[in-house]
Structure 1
Amino acid sequence: MAERKSYITRSGFEKLRAELEFLWKEERPRVTHAVSVAAALGDRSENADYIYGKKRLREIDGRIRFLTKRMDELEVVDLGPRANADRVYFGAWVELEDEQGERVRYQLVGPDEFDAAQGRISVESPVGRALMGKRLDDEVLVRRPRGELRFTIVAIDYRQPDGRPSEGRPAGGASNDGPHGAP
């Protein structure tokens, strides 16, 4: 069975890379030094600094392993200004209007970088799945455990909220080669 690719924006991938570098080059050496100092103090069985340090090292090593493996599995989708931004694909900023006239704005991102507080939702979420491939002015029905929501797509943009163009080449587009509209 073919493995399903997970997608991530360039900025999301760079955040993971920065975290990995920080853990490997700064945090792990700092904690390793603290464990060495604590170990030199003698009895390790009741040495809280030593016990905590070893626990923290295990956590750091686990996160390093996870990030290393996960980053190998991810496909970076570079987003760029699109000549035809009338469809919703991975990386799009989408403004929706509900039945009461309230508006919300979301960016469709991969599961590794979703952040609801920042308006970034996963393409694998109910809202994300409902939006993929839709056009401007389409009505979107979102089925969720608490009931259905109806939205109208009022804007699709492939620019950052501050107006900067998104990075790189477009993802998806006319040929819907990969899942989530990504190549």
Structure 2
Amino acid sequence: MSTIPISKEGFAKIKAELASLKKERPEVIKAIAEAREEGDLKENGGYHAARERQGMLEAKINYIESRIPQFNVVDMTTLGGEKITFGATVTLEDIDTGAEKTYTIMGPDESDFKKGIISIESPVGKALLGKIEGDEVVVNAPKGKIEYGIVSVIFNGPIS
């Protein structure tokens, strides 16, 4: 089983989400029981909606619980160096356009493209791992190959 890197903060969020989902269980069970009391289950929209909600809730709980043992919780304050690894904030320059982009490389459970946080499993993340400032990389993106120059690599600590 491979491990999935995650920050302490990200792991805490996942655990909080799991606790919140588990707190919903009694509400869903109650909604199913109340809907069942309404009679004919074949035409009982409330019952079917509650059962569907229960299925989605249990699936999410099972998914999170299955991932927790795979997490490698990383203390972001201990990261550093020249090479791009999990936790690095990297500024890239598109070789063709000169446009700069800055990304922080995190695990898949913490990625948020709108905030500039990309997964180590994304095409850009994979291309950058192990590289250093000054290197050039070719990213096999869905829209084709993109060449980037690595402008800077820094380690900032926890991501908010």
1:105 aligns with 2:102: yes
After superposition, what is the alpha-carbon deviation per residue over 1:59-116, rounded to whole angstroms, capped at 9, x for unaligned?
A: 111111111111112111221165x542211011111111222111111111222221
1:95 aligns with 2:91: yes
* C-alpha distance in 2 between matches for 1:79 and 1:158: 8
Cα distance, 1:42 vs structure 2 = 2.2
Cα distance, 1:147 vs structure 2 = 2.8
Cα distance, 1:5 vs structure 2 = 1.8
**TM-score scaled by length of structure 2:** 0.88
Higher helix share: 2
1:128 aligns with 2:125: yes
- 2:44 is aligned, of 37, 44, 47, to 47
Q: RMSD of the alignment, in Å?
A: 1.9
- Matching residue of 1:174: none
Cα distance, 1:145 vs structure 2 = 5.0
* C-alpha distance in 2 between matches for 1:152 and 1:64: 41
* C-alpha distance in 1 between matches for 2:25 and 2:155: 38
- Matching residue of 1:162: none
- Matching residue of 1:66: 63
- Aligned with 1:70: secondary structure? helix
Cα distance, 1:144 vs structure 2 = 3.5
1:56 aligns with 2:53: yes
- Matching residue of 2:4: 6
* C-alpha distance in 2 between matches for 1:67 and 1:145: 28
- Matching residue of 2:158: 166
**TM-score scaled by length of structure 1:** 0.78
- Matching residue of 1:170: none
Higher strand share: 2
- Aligned with 2:57: secondary structure? helix
